[in-house]
Amino acid sequence: MSGEHHGPAAAVAARVRHVEALLEQRGLIDAAELDRALESFVARSSPANGFRVVARAWVDTGFRARLLSEANDALPELGMSMGGGLQEQRLKVVENTEQVHNVIVCTLCSCYPIALLGPSPTWYKSESYRSRVVRDPRSVLYEFGFELDESVQVTVWDASAETRYMVLPRRPAGTEGLGEDELAGLVTRNGLIGVAAV
């Protein structure tokens, strides 16, 4: 398994590192400041953020519509963003329904909405998951203990450096009387990736 980019993504990453080095050499940016910004971003990054987003979407149809239409514009309503002081990435939220089940992957490396899901799980970065979920998503879901009816269409979304994806799971039956905090407690990171039901 390799976590490094190959092809065009590797070339872009190398250019970014080169430009950063030049900016540091010329005193235009401070490496320690960049490190602090990254540490601050990671400290605020947690699956609990994604759980809150899902819970709000389950109880607030207006928020849900805005989230599915333009997620980056909806997140600030909960005090969140996809940037955290770093370059903002585009977030697309895809909704599971009775007819369609969504799964996310990054076939190039492990691009992932860290701000909402926290650090990615080891299996998400594995070459096995990245290649197999695209070719045979039902088998991969089955290995996670999640079996879908054959009538449900499985759609796999491939994340990139520009666009990250998050799954909006189906709200579990019998949860109509629960508040947002209780609903958020039902959501899992695997549900936000699409390899589990909530």
Catalytic residue among 45, 46, 110, 128: 110
Catalytic residue among 111, 120, 126, 151: 111
The yes-or-no answer on residue 69 being catalytic is: no
Catalytic residue among 106, 126, 139, 151: 106
Q: Which of 186, 182, 147 is nearest to 170 (CA)?
A: 186
CB 50 within 8 A of CB 117: yes
Catalytic residue among 109, 120, 126, 151: 109
DSSP letters along 93-114, please?
EEE--SSEEEEEE-SSS----H
The yes-or-no answer on residue 139 being catalytic is: no
The yes-or-no answer on residue 40 being catalytic is: no
Query: Residue 64, Cα to own-chain centre: how many angstroms?
Result: 17
Handedness of CA 193, 195, 3, 51 (dihedral sign): positive
The yes-or-no answer on residue 46 being catalytic is: no
What residues contact residue 10 under an 8 Å CB cut-off, 6+ apart? 4
**Hey, which residues are catalytic here?**
106, 109-111
